[in-house]
A and B are shown apart, each in its own frame.
Chain A
Amino acid sequence: MKNRRRVKNKNGIANIYLVLVFLVLYAPIFYLMYYSFNSGGTMHKFEGFTLDYYREVVADTRLMIIVINTLVIALLSSAIATIIAVIGALAIHHVRSRRAKNTLLSLNNVLIVSPDVIIGASFLILFTIVGIKLGFTSVLLSHVAFSIPIAVIMILPHLQEMSPTLTDAARDLGATRRDVLTKVILPIIKPGIFSGFFMALTYSLDDFAVTFFVTGNGYSTLSVEIYSRARQGVSLSINALSTLIFLFTILLVIGYYYLNQRKSRPPVQIAEPVAEAGVPR
């Protein structure tokens, strides 16, 4: 009885802590959303309800083009980056020597922790030397580049978790290399591929530092646009836009869980018994 109570108490504190953390995380977002409906036009006195700022956002064609640009870049760059990352993760996984593997992994990690500003500035220099015009191509290339290491990190653990006996068994049963890849390896690492894709997507959506350096010739993305508008004081239409994007990301997350829960369960369930039926790990 005594014990149980202690456990309950502990849980209570943990829950309160969790609620507090989420409050801190979400409060600014809800604050911003709340004022996007303020007819007063400022962020410090709520005067009345209005949808004017949402209308303003939709009517601003330039802003709409920028939003679409941002989405296109995010979707394309993370799709391309994920495909490259799958190949890269497979390659790293297949390297035999431990040292070589660690070196490759460290090189991958260095790119994740290195400051965005430096990556952005180096891309700017690279593109101008090579002669790529700043605009869609340069932004896409740089986003693909900084997304790859992130996707690799998300995919590799799934590869490492996979029992090596699985591929051996598949080969013994007469599967070709291609079959092993498409029927065994890819289905097993699928959750990793999706999480890699979604991580890359969020990175691409909100990246400012790199994008700032490589945008040009009238091509811009949302982060760069909002940042330069902020100097004049952020207008509430930015609040409205942020609210819309927040809802959009929530939808993405829900979609991601839907994919993860419903579709990736069966292969995992099949994979586990097979692994256990083989050589015990």
Chain B
Amino acid sequence: MKQLVNTFLAILIVAFGLMFLASRLNSAQGYSGGNTLTIYNWGDYVDPDLLKQFQEETGITVIYQTFDSNEAMLTKVEQGGTIFDVVIPSDYAIAKMREENLLLPLDHSKLPNLANIDSKFMNLSFDPGNKYSVPYFWGTVGIIFNPDMTKGIDFSSWDSLWDKRLKNNIFLVDGAREVMGMALNSLHYSVNDTKEEHLQEALAKLNKLSPNVKAIVGDEVKMLLANEEAAVGIVWSGDASEIMDDNDKLDFVVPEEGSNKWFDNMVIPRTAGNVEGAHKFINFMLRPDVAAQNTEYVGYSTPNVPALKLLPEDISGDERFYPPAELTDRLEVYDNLGKRMLAHYNELFLMFKMNKK
């Protein structure tokens, strides 16, 4: 008995000692004061030095919290119970949040730096007039390939994927919109096409791709491609830049028929506690020097025009990630197709997956 009591007392003492240590560290970092701002963002999606800089300039302490998918983030924001001041979801999630009335309208007079954003990234279908959201990073869906293994195939068109030489050599990302969109694009239709005959045509074309597809995979595609498990992958540009960091043999291209472009945008949820600070933070992130530094850290494409000029030429001049205007004009944002159409897309994608041998 004595031993039991002693052991448990020791455990409690250790636990409270650690708790004390944590609270000391917390207050040393300023996390426990009243003037704080909670950012809810993807893991490792901002330069931590910038958060420190923001803190020095405004005296507001930033608490950085992370999520791993739009859906997970939606659940947390919907339920309430915790205060987030700035959240950085992707386009379709913003449309959803807007519909469910989860967002606060932005006060544009407090965001003078919004003028830095390229006009072609403003006023998009998921948020007309940018009433609720401000662009943070953007990117495309394209083909990443290993020149050593593809023997000079030219990937500037989606049709190149159907080349017989690529047998069992392509990784597809496991997303109905991405894969269906690619097939639609290859037929010169819109990624948002809802005409049944076009969709069936796309499915038929996808089925012909089957022999070339090695696997349909999730985030592990980055590791697989970097390890040269297959020659070609359909991936988001952000992933592509990471893969190319790991293995510089690979190259990335956005096919000329067009493709999807995606956005991660900053929004203020309705439950925000520090709306004033949230505006300050968004405006801070839009500053050219800040956006440039952040772009260098994260490696995705920035929509900030003056920031681009501050970036070294090998980043801003990289047409793979900053495609020329005539291509970007052909890129489309995913529209919210509604529940039924989305289910249909998923169903078609499932049929393709089942057909695959």
Selecting from A8-16, A108-116, A221-229, the interface stretch reads A221-229
Asked if A233 contacts B242 (CB within 8 A), the reply is yes
Whether B330 sits at the interface, judged by CB under 8 Å, is no
B contact residues around A128 at 8 Å (CB): 79-81
Contact with A along B19-32 (1 / 0, CB 8 A): 10110011011010
Whether A143 sits at the interface, judged by CB under 8 Å, is no
Interface residues of A in 40-95 (CB under 8 A from B): 42-44, 61-62, 64-65, 68-69, 71-72, 75-76, 79, 82-83
A contact residues around B36 at 8 Å (CB): 218
Asked if A65 contacts B26 (CB within 8 A), the reply is yes
B29 to chain A, nearest CB (A): 6
A contact residues around B222 at 8 Å (CB): 233
State which of B29, B45, B63, B81 has its C-beta within 8 Å of the C-beta of A232.
B45
A contact residues around B223 at 8 Å (CB): 43-44, 233
Whether A216 sits at the interface, judged by CB under 8 Å, is yes
Whether A155 sits at the interface, judged by CB under 8 Å, is no
A130 to chain B, nearest CB (A): 10
B57 to chain A, nearest CB (A): 20
State which of B11, B66, B80 has its C-beta within 8 Å of the C-beta of A79.
B11
**Given A75-B18, A79-B12, A216-B76, is A228 in contact with B66 using a C-beta cutoff of 8 Å?**
yes
Determine the residue in chain A with the shortest Cβ distance to B82.
A216
B84 to chain A, nearest CB (A): 9
Asked if B38 contacts A193 (CB within 8 A), the reply is no
> In the bound complex, what is the Cα–Cα distance between A218 and B41 (angstroms)?
12
Asked if B246 contacts A64 (CB within 8 A), the reply is no
A contact residues around B226 at 8 Å (CB): 42, 44
- Chain A at the B interface: SS class: helix
Asked if B4 contacts A76 (CB within 8 A), the reply is no
B contact residues around A83 at 8 Å (CB): 8
Determine the residue in chain A with the shortest Cβ distance to B36.
A218
Selecting from B67-75, B163-171, B187-195, B345-353, the interface stretch reads B67-75
Whether A220 sits at the interface, judged by CB under 8 Å, is yes
Contact with B along A109-126 (1 / 0, CB 8 A): 000000000000100110
> In the bound complex, what is the Cα–Cα distance between A193 and B4 (angstroms)?
9
Asked if B67 contacts A228 (CB within 8 A), the reply is yes
Determine the residue in chain B with the shortest Cβ distance to A83.
B8
Select the residue from B66, B81, B242 with max chain A CB neighbours within 10 A. Answer: B81
A contact residues around B66 at 8 Å (CB): 220, 224-225, 228-229
> In the bound complex, what is the Cα–Cα distance between A61 and B11 (angstroms)?
24
Whether B44 sits at the interface, judged by CB under 8 Å, is yes
B220 to chain A, nearest CB (A): 10
> In the bound complex, what is the Cα–Cα distance between A42 and B4 (angstroms)?
46
> In the bound complex, what is the Cα–Cα distance between A71 and B11 (angstroms)?
11
Whether A35 sits at the interface, judged by CB under 8 Å, is no
Determine the residue in chain A with the shortest Cβ distance to B38.
A218
Q: Which residues of chain A have a CB within 8 Å of any CB of chain B? A: 42-44, 61-62, 64-65, 68-69, 71-72, 75-76, 79, 82-83, 121, 124-125, 127-128, 132-135, 138, 182-183, 186-187, 190, 193-194, 212-213, 215-218, 220, 224-225, 227-233, 235, 259, 263
With contacts A134-B81, A138-B81, A233-B223 known, what are 12 further pairs, Cβ within 8 A? A43-B223, A61-B28, A61-B29, A65-B29, A72-B19, A124-B76, A128-B79, A187-B1, A193-B4, A217-B83, A228-B43, A232-B45
8 nearest A-B residue pairs (beta carbon): A216-B82, A218-B63, A228-B66, A228-B43, A128-B81, A229-B43, A75-B15, A134-B82
Q: List 19 A-B contacts (CB under 8 A).
A: A64-B25, A68-B18, A68-B19, A68-B22, A72-B19, A75-B11, A75-B14, A133-B82, A135-B82, A182-B1, A190-B4, A212-B72, A215-B65, A218-B65, A225-B66, A228-B42, A231-B44, A231-B68, A233-B223
